[in-house]
Amino acid sequence: AQSVTQLDSHVSVSEGTPVLLRCNYSSSYSPSLFWYVQHPNKGLQLLLKYTSAATLVKGINGFEAEFKKSETSFHLTKPSAHMSDAAEYFCVLNGRQGGKLIFGQGTELSVKP
């Protein structure tokens, strides 16, 4: 069975402080994993992707994520939050060729001034 669990439905940080959005996955296959961001009433924008190359993946806007097979995790981090980072974030799993993408439930990130 394949699944994605985003451990926090809502995360609130202050501007300039680090961001950590947690994602755990379950897959019988070698997974591809993605993080997407969604601003209100918009589609999803790809932040970064892991496809079995380097385990530390750098994305856009200063975000990065580390694939840890032993922990079945793919947490998203950013050293310093910006107000414009406030949005909904989705962790997404592609577990096998031709398979459907599995979406996490999303984490809403709030950034306080």
28 near other proteins, rule: CB under 8 A: no
Instruction: Please name the residues in contact with 6: beta carbons below 8 A apart, sequence gap of 6 or more.
Output: 21, 22, 23, 89, 90, 91, 104, 105, 106, 107
Secondary structure percentages of the chain, helix, strand, coil, to 5:
5, 55, 40
Q: Which is nearer to other proteins, 41 or 113 (CB)?
A: 41
- According to CB under 8 A, which residues from 38 to 97 bind other proteins? 41-46, 49, 51, 90, 92, 94, 97
Place of tokens 């995790």: 73
What is the C-alpha to C-alpha distance for residues 109 and 8, in angstroms, rounded to an integer?
A: 10
- Stretch in the footprint of other proteins (CB under 8 A) among 13-21, 34-42, 62-70, 74-82: 34-42
Closest distance of CB 91 from other proteins, Å = 10
Interface positions with other proteins (CB under 8 A): 32, 34, 36, 41-46, 49, 51, 90, 92, 94, 97-98, 100-101, 103-106, 108
